[in-house]
Amino acid sequence: MSVFRIGIAGLGVVGAETARQILTKQDRLSKRAGKNLKIIAVSARDRLKDRGFKLEEVFFYKDPLKLVEHDEIDVIIELIGGESGIAFDLCRKALQAGKHVVTANKAMIAHHGLSLSKLAEENDVTIQFEAAVAGGIPAVKILREGLAGNKIDTVAGILNGTCNYILSKMTSSQSTFQDVLEEAQQKGFAEADPSFDIDGVDAAHKLAILSSIAFKQKIKFSSLSISGIRHVSAIDVMYAGKLGFSLKLLGIARRDSTAEITMALIPSEEQLASVNGALNAVSYRGNPVESSICIGPGAGAGPTSSAVLADLIDVATGLANFAYGSPVETLSEQKLDENKLSQQCYYLRIAVTDRPGVLSEISAILRDYELSVASMIQNSHSNDGSVFLVLTTHKCTKKIIETAVSKISLSEHVLDSPMLIPIYDSGSFG
Amino acid sequence: MSVFRIGIAGLGVVGAETARQILTKQDRLSKRAGKNLKIIAVSARDRLKDRGFKLEEVFFYKDPLKLVEHDEIDVIIELIGGESGIAFDLCRKALQAGKHVVTANKAMIAHHGLSLSKLAEENDVTIQFEAAVAGGIPAVKILREGLAGNKIDTVAGILNGTCNYILSKMTSSQSTFQDVLEEAQQKGFAEADPSFDIDGVDAAHKLAILSSIAFKQKIKFSSLSISGIRHVSAIDVMYAGKLGFSLKLLGIARRDSTAEITMALIPSEEQLASVNGALNAVSYRGNPVESSICIGPGAGAGPTSSAVLADLIDVATGLANFAYGSPVETLSEQKLDENKLSQQCYYLRIAVTDRPGVLSEISAILRDYELSVASMIQNSHSNDGSVFLVLTTHKCTKKIIETAVSKISLSEHVLDSPMLIPIYDSGSFG
């Protein structure tokens, strides 16, 4: 069996697990790859840190770029992370030096994946990034190869485990966002600086990557509409449940529309609604496949290294090809069809003064915009003289409802900014 | 762009849809494949049947074996079906003639997949069969490539849409098996002769295929334990619901154990429990990926042709390789470790005479076998002097519970064969 020589850049949680898997399961993985998989060099900050395995007869570098100079290395596994900086530098130079790259770096791929993939083509090597999206779900391969014969119209998913954990926990324990976030940070489910997760950026990275592959378009990360869960209120989580919905941070990309990361209410009988805890989910709709959904762990050392190893084996066996399924030059420019106005139902919560005539005033505004109410809850009178008016609408455009809501918020009886959340059911994904 | 020449054998529902897709979406599919995909010959019984598209400048044969003689054909898409017979003959001869094969034929692959794959290797071509398992879920590719770095321990799933439709409908409408089956036949969801579906054979074909790929073992179809839903009673569907379970026909394969198709109760909070209607689901558990589940349509022209097209594109781009992930000779012989006794919980329903002392007699038998009861329901007295005793057990081996049940059925107070159904939760899949 010929030898396939590996350099690993970054021995954090995922890097260490990947190295451990290759070292301790070398026989099985090599048999699967048809080549003798051998780590010949690694790069990390601290050589002596105990990672649970021994790096013997392996070159060790503090500077990851040294891996590129290593003539024998066939593939560099980049697990440093970061949109630009050293990781991007390493990947570019590795590809230019004719080395394959396997990476879990979603920020880098969301921003530079197309240019890196082009660079790989020019140098007759490949860059693979299954681990950049939902590690435990082979989402990239499913879209790129498993559904290659389809015209995909929609990709939707729960793409950030931290947000899903927080929202699930707020639902099950009726806690506030802040309390659950702190608990998640203590347990290690959320970062000390959680903004990439809770502001939807991490989910947006994954959605951008999936969109390019699904639609065969050069999706620009800057085109995404991104919002997170930082302002979610326990009240909305509670009302969502009362109305038969789950509140989720959803990524949704429709062909020729702006891809968005948004809080959404999902009917509780939908599969996506029952994806709880730190799980991720990716669903697809296309022709002729109709639709399917995959659910699994999105992060963590095990699931992420599973994705890295799959790419490594594909690269070693020669089954890895164009990262987006076709040469980058064959992908279309991104299209945004402004006339393709999608309509959907909405959830609207308004804090109002508890006085006669308020409901009639708000109803009149909704009527003026031809917005029709599907259901409504008004809670019992509170001590401070305010009540919540919670309603769901029938389908309407985003523009109409937003205009109506800004008019509503001008009313002297409205005490706070109304909360507007779209409702997505599987029909919306079409 | 070079031309990739296709012969299609069989223009039934799936064959016609596959041909229609290739003909009407030729540009997109060819771009994706990097080759000009061209149907140059087809074989079917009736040339003149209206299939919604025109076969112009295409050779038409009644005898599918004529496709093999066609020197120009690069790949034969076999959509005739059947375990042996003409389909098997065609595939063997096609591979021997150096033509690739793409097939949706689960019966043939479950029985002859390993020998066909070996034949393909010997002739330096490939045979691909994504469409043989759950068309809308790229289950073969996920297991073979997406999870290639894992040691898979369990594959479980809902693998027959007809059975799942019948069980879901029995649950939602509280109907009998016979009534729902007849309705399904009228709607075209079940065959006129439904035995392959309702006796679990179709699901077993798919499970055998997935098991070989997952465990990298030569799984013999004859080794599977297969039972179906023919004897399901509306009473058990009802009690399952009362106890917080869904009744499903489950395929479950554990490494080194007998793979089985069996009715099973699944806790309603599990993802598998909420897979309703004609949907299929496949779940995996392995190291390091942990576990994931994919849900989608398992049959029908669209989903199945999606899988056929994916294989076709893989073959055309040169990304199709060993059908089981490695050369057949590298797969292990099937192992059945009889000492690996898995324990699980059980549901047991016993029709007994409504007399004092019956419960005590049955309880004593359970105690003698050290079987501990987790929950019990005894329904109210009936007119005919019989009652149902329904209980669930804590974990025990199959052998122990079956012995206890045969002892129970000897009691003069037991009126009918007790119904014993295993309970599977995600813990059981490990």
Residue A10 has pLDDT above 70, yes or no: yes
C-alpha closest to that of A9 among A30, A32, A40, A37: A40
Q: How many CB atoms lie within 10 A of CB A36?
A: 16
Residues B392 and B292 in one domain: no
Query: What integer pLDDT is reported at residue B343 of this predicted model?
Result: 87
Tell if the CB–CB gap between B290 and A297 is shorter than 8 Å.
yes
Of A57, A3, A59, give the one whose Cα is nearest residue A30: A3
What pLDDT is recorded for position A430?
Answer: 44
* Candidates A136, A269, A292; nearest CB to B289: A136
| pTM score, whole prediction | 0.96
Return the structure tokens found at B361: 């007699």
Q: Among A150, A292, A305, whose Cβ lies nearest the Cβ of B137?
A: A292
Chain A interface includes B6 (CB < 8 A): no
**B206 carries an active-site annotation:** yes
> Which B positions 42-61 lie with beta carbon below 8 A of chain A?
none
pLDDT for the residue B430: 44
User: Could you tell me if A374 and A413 lie in one domain?
Assistant: yes
Q: What is the pLDDT of residue A312?
A: 98
Q: Residues A344-379: pLDDT tens digits?
A: 999 999 999 988 889 999 999 999 999 999 999 887
Q: Which of A267, A298, A329 is the last residue of a domain?
A: A298
Cβ distance of A321 and B326 shorter than 8 Å: no
With an 8 Å Cβ cutoff, are B296 and A310 in contact? no
pLDDT digits (tens, 9 = 90+) for A247-287: 999 999 999 999 999 999 999 999 999 999 999 999 999 99
Please tell me which residue of chain A has the smallest CA distance to B321. Answer: A319
Q: Is A303 on the interface with B (CB under 8 A)?
A: yes
Domain check: are B206 and B229 in the same one?
yes
Q: Domain for residue A329, yes or no?
A: no
Q: In this structure, are B145 and B118 located in the same domain?
A: no
Residue of chain A whose alpha carbon sits nearest to that of B274: A271
- Nearest-angstrom CA–CA distance, B194 and B177: 12
**Separation between Cα atoms, residue A240 and residue A234, nearest integer Å:** 10
List CB contacts (< 8 A) between B157 and chain A. Answer: none
A326/B32 Cβ within 8 A: yes
Whether B325 is in a domain gets the answer: no
- A275 and A312 share one domain: no
DSSP codes, A21-75:
HHHHTHHHHHHHHTSEEEEEEEE-S-SSS--SS---S-EEESSTTHHHH-TT--E
Looking at the fold, whether A192 and A280 belong to one and the same domain comes out as yes
A-chain CB neighbours of B148 within 8 Å are 32, 309-310, 313-314
CA distance A259 to chain B (A): 23
Q: Does B24 touch chain A (CB under 8 A)?
A: no
CB–CB of B148 and A17 under 8 A?
no
In a domain, A332, yes or no: no
pLDDT of residue A286: 97
Where would I find the beta strands (DSSP E) of B10-89? Answer: 36-43, 59-61, 75-78
Does some domain include residue A326?
no
Distance from CA of A326 to the nearest CA of B (A): 6
Q: What pLDDT is attached to residue A381?
A: 64
Of residues A35, A141, A169, A206, which has the active-site annotation? A206
Residues B52 and B147 in one domain: no
Q: What is the ipTM of this complex?
A: 0.95
Tokens at B201, concatenated: 């054979």
Residues of chain B with Cβ-Cβ distance to A21 below 8 Å are 149, 288
pLDDT in tens, B311-361: 999 999 999 989 999 999 999 999 888 777 678 999 999 999 988 889 999
Q: How far apart are CA B169 and CA B276, in angstroms?
A: 9
Looking at chain B, which residue has its C-alpha nearest residue A320?
B319
Domain that holds residue A124: 3-135+304-319
DSSP per residue over A310-342, as a string?
Answer: HHHHHHHHT----TTSS-GGGSEEP---TT---
Measured between CA atoms, the residue of chain A closest to residue B284 is A296
Instruction: Decide if A281 is inside a domain.
Output: yes
Same domain, B75 and B195: no
| Chain A residues close to B274, C-beta within 8 Å | 269, 271, 274
* CATH code, domain carrying A348: 3.30.70.260
- The model's pLDDT over B387-399, given as tens digits with 9 standing for 90+, comes to 999 999 999 999 9
Whether the CB of A137 is below 8 Å from some CB of chain B: the reply is yes
Of the residues B265, B298, B331, the one at which a domain ends: B298
Which residues of chain B make contact with A296, given a CB cutoff of 8 A? 289-293
CATH value at residue A200 = 3.30.360.10
Strand pairing report for B59-61 and B332-333? unpaired
Q: Kindly list the residues from chain B whose CB atom is less than 8 angstroms away from the CB atom of residue A77.
A: none
- Closest A-chain CA to B17: A288
Which residue among B268, B298, B328 closes a domain?
B298
To the nearest whole angstrom, how far is the Cα of B112 from the nearest Cα of chain A?
22
Q: Is residue B50 part of a domain?
A: yes
Instruction: Please report the pLDDT score of residue A386 as a whole number.
Output: 86
Residues of chain B with pLDDT below 50 are 430
Neighbours of B232 (CB within 10 A): 22
Q: How many domains does chain A fold into? A: 3
pLDDT for res B350: 95
The CA distance from A360 to the nearest CA of chain B, in Å, is 41
pLDDT digits (tens, 9 = 90+) for A228-248: 999 999 999 999 999 999 999
pLDDT in tens, A194-221: 999 999 999 999 999 999 999 999 999 9
A106 with A177, same domain: the answer is: no
Please identify among residues 259-278 of chain A the ones whose CB lies closer than 8 Å to any CB of chain B: 269, 271, 274
CA distance A320 to chain B (A): 8
- Quote the distance between the C-alpha of residue A189 and its chain's center: 16
Among B35, B99, B206, B248, the active-site one is: B206
B335: tokens are 């192992």
For residues A157 and A294, state if they share a domain: yes
Cα–Cα distances in Å, from B47 out to A251, B64, B66?
47, 13, 15
Q: Is residue B28 part of a domain?
A: yes
B72 shares its domain with B58:
yes
Q: CB of A408 within 8 A of CB of A414?
A: yes
Q: Which residues of B touch A310 (CB under 8 A)?
A: 145-149
Residues B55 and B112 in one domain: yes
CB A157 within 8 A of CB A251: yes
Q: What percent of chain B has pLDDT over 90?
A: 87
Chain A stretch 104-123, residues whose beta carbon is closer than 8 A to a beta carbon of chain B: none
Whether A429 shows a pLDDT value over 80: the answer reads no
Length of chain B, please?
Answer: 430
The pLDDT score that the predictor gives to residue A53 is 85
In a domain, A334, yes or no: no
